[in-house]
Amino acid sequence: MHGHHVRTHAPPPRHASAAAVAVRVAGRSSALRRYVCRRRRLRHWPPPAHLRSLVQEKTKKLGFPASIKRRLGTLFHLNLNRTPASTFSSREKQTQVTCSAELGSLCGSMATTDDGGSWLLYLSLAAKCGGDHPHRLAGFLAVCAAACVVTCLLHWCFPGGPAWGRWWWTSRRRFGGTVIPGPRGLPVIGSMWLMTGLAHRKLAAAAERLRARRLMAFSLGETRVVVAAHPDVARELLSSPAFADRPVKESAYGLLFHRAIGFAPHGAYWRALRRVASTHLFSPWQVAASGPQRAVIAAQMVAALSSSASAAGREDVAVRKVLRRASLHNVMWSVFGRRYDLELDPAKESPETRELGGLVDEGYDLLGQLNWSDHLPWLARFDLQGTRARCARLVPRVNRFVGAIIDEHRARYPGPAVVDFTDVLLSLQGNDRLADSDMIAVLWEMVFRGTDTVAVLIEWVLARLVLHPDVQGRVHDELDRVVGRGRAVTESDSASLAYLHAVIKEVLRLHPPGPLLSWARLATSDVHVDGFLIPAGTTAMVNMWAITHDPAVWADPAAFRPDRFLAGGSSSEFSVMGSDLRLAPFGSGRRSCPGKSLAMATVAFWLATLLHEFELLPATDPARGVDLSEVLRLSCEMAAPLAVTVRPRRAV
């Protein structure tokens, strides 16, 4: 303790800039900056002697008021005012300690040894708020608010928006590299509007405007996102092991999908699930073995459309409900072993089918919406969109429905043979054996993912054929040549229907059901793509719609021309299974859709059956004409359900 008399000084003028004071004290000393940053974490760590001398020399030379000297002295363990420490009031000591703690908390995410400006913020705030007057607390809060605003603006000014700016300002010296072009959006929220409505079209327009078709960065709140719209970059991104995971949205987590194939993290558990599904549900021999059930459902579709068309006063047929119920029945047969008749009358429909259809529709709506809480975590506690509440109501219903089916299968297991995918899961042994909760998640996802894509794609194909009767006529001619009108189509005929396959591929090009490949990827480590550094934790997307509508990739991309896939006389030369990223609607790499072969076999066979039986004509009601407008939910669907007039082509 010093025995000198206590000197009092008036507080510094209010117009004095504390930041300027800090600059004058510290000059350009990197050692001083490092000390300030370290002291933020260790309040009582003693400063080196040369730093104490530096501060003492500069404060003496510049002649600061006593109040500022006292605050700097507290920070650097100096008695610049020659004031005995014992004479500081307890209130002053408490104010200094409280201020230091608040500053440490406030600046924790901003002051690092690599941030050359944060030490100024620390010293200036310390100089402003260490006093014992109420107006200084207001000043402290004002400076804090100003610092937050300035920080948000600095982050927002960076290409790609605030999430990319935050990463760049904290990691630029460690990583360096070229900046990925992209829209800045708005402070805090970034470019959230790009993912509303027809997101694939908005992203394509933004990439075109910024000349960032190959790779574009943007921010969804606090989420860094990149989107590729070029085949080469898409291949590089999808084939990289760094993108083997998916970002799990709150709705996906709430709906149990984090324990299923779609969203489970890459690892032993995910590989086991993928292996089981590929072997027992999606393998070539299993796809062929399930052909008879698809034939039964195809016959039910023909009967339902014929019945609907012949009903009194109902010449126009809405095909969407028929296609969705057929897809749902097909999945229920494969996954649960349930077989139902296809009924369009709700009074005659199976209660189990009706209940599961409602569960699937609610799940689609939840997964398809943009949940702001996924990208602005501080909104999660409020659940503004009701996502958490809706998931909490839906999941118990899913558990009861799927759990009851599992219990039925377990009661008769072991049966004479494995007949469905539920039996397969119950038969797993050892490390592959699943808990009931995981089994429910896997089965629920199989039903969920298998119902939508087939129905959506067939509806788009039928709409295009109604608009292009010449193309429909060529399909009819091919069916008459390969199958004839004396028998029904079989799946073995599919390999000979080259033009029909070309039509399907052209519709996949114009209307990919998942224009952004449905679910994005997550970078698990820092990786370079197309010469740009993509840091770990970044969400990556592929805009397949932009690729399939790029005139540099496809000649005359807006035209409906199935013949483009008939080079050499066969559409089989162009694969849509992921090997050619010019058209990969089912994705590519580790996370590609495991059921793509089954989906394509189902679509081709059902389309061949419908077109063999019927000629499709425009609806008689002009208000129900074919409208190619889109709506993007989980898949990209027709905004207006397709209505057609069906005319039989042969006796059933």
53 in any annotated domain: yes
306: domain CATH number is 1.10.630.10
Question: What is the domain range of residue 397?
Answer: 252-648
Residue 378 has pLDDT above 70, yes or no: yes
Same domain membership, residue 526 and residue 414? yes
Same domain membership, residue 416 and residue 280? yes
Q: Which pLDDT score is estimated for 174?
A: 52
What does DSSP assign to residue 245? B
Domain boundary among 156, 181, 216: 156
552 in any annotated domain: yes
Same domain membership, residue 438 and residue 584? yes
370 in any annotated domain: yes
Query: Taking the CA of residue 639 as centre, how many other CA atoms within 13 Å lie in the half-sphere pointing to its CB?
Result: 8
Same domain membership, residue 256 and residue 120? no
228 in any annotated domain: no
Residue 605 has pLDDT above 80, yes or no: yes
Same domain membership, residue 298 and residue 149? no
Same domain membership, residue 272 and residue 143? no
Contact 127, 71 (CB under 8 A): yes
Q: Please write the tens of the pLDDT for every residue from 17-29.
A: 444 444 444 444 5
437 in any annotated domain: yes
Q: Which pLDDT score is estimated for 432?
A: 87
Same domain membership, residue 441 and residue 321? yes
From the annotation, which residues make up the binding site?
593
Same domain membership, residue 147 and residue 23? yes
Contact 579, 573 (CB under 8 A): no
Same domain membership, residue 142 and residue 262? no
Q: Cα separations (Å) of 502 from 454, 568, 572?
A: 17, 12, 8
Q: Which pLDDT score is estimated for 419?
A: 80
Same domain membership, residue 273 and residue 143? no
Where is pLDDT greater, at 617 or 80?
617
Same domain membership, residue 261 and residue 131? no
Q: Which of 492, 469, 462, 474 is nearest to 601 (CA)?
A: 492
Q: Please write the tens of the pLDDT for every residue from 81-123.
A: 554 444 444 444 444 444 444 434 433 333 333 344 444 444 4
What are the residues facing 186 on neighbouring strands? 190
Written as six digits, the tokens of 468 are: 């292009």
Helix axes 469-482, 498-510, angle to 10 degrees: 150
pLDDT band at 65 (very low <50, low <70, confident <90, very high): low
527 in any annotated domain: yes
How many Cβ atoms are within 10 Å of 269's Cβ, its own excluded?
Answer: 16
266 in any annotated domain: yes
479 in any annotated domain: yes
Domain boundary among 156, 190, 215: 156
Mean predicted confidence (pLDDT) in 235-253: 91
From the annotation, which residues make up the binding site for heme?
593
Where is pLDDT greater, at 574 or 477?
477
Q: Which pLDDT score is estimated for 417?
A: 66
The percentage of residues in the chain with a pLDDT greater than 70, rounded to a whole number, is: 74
Q: CA–CA separation, 534 vs 210, rounded Å?
A: 19
How many Cβ atoms are within 10 Å of 568's Cβ, its own excluded?
Answer: 8
Same domain membership, residue 574 and residue 462? yes
pLDDT band at 549 (very low <50, low <70, confident <90, very high): very high
Domain count for the chain, please give it: 2
Residue 514 has pLDDT above 60, yes or no: yes
Domain boundary among 106, 128, 156: 156
Burial class (CB in 10 A: 0-12, 13-18, 19+), 492: exposed
How many Cβ atoms are within 10 Å of 477's Cβ, its own excluded?
Answer: 11
**Strand, helix or coil for residue 50:** helix
How many Cβ atoms are within 10 Å of 150's Cβ, its own excluded?
Answer: 12
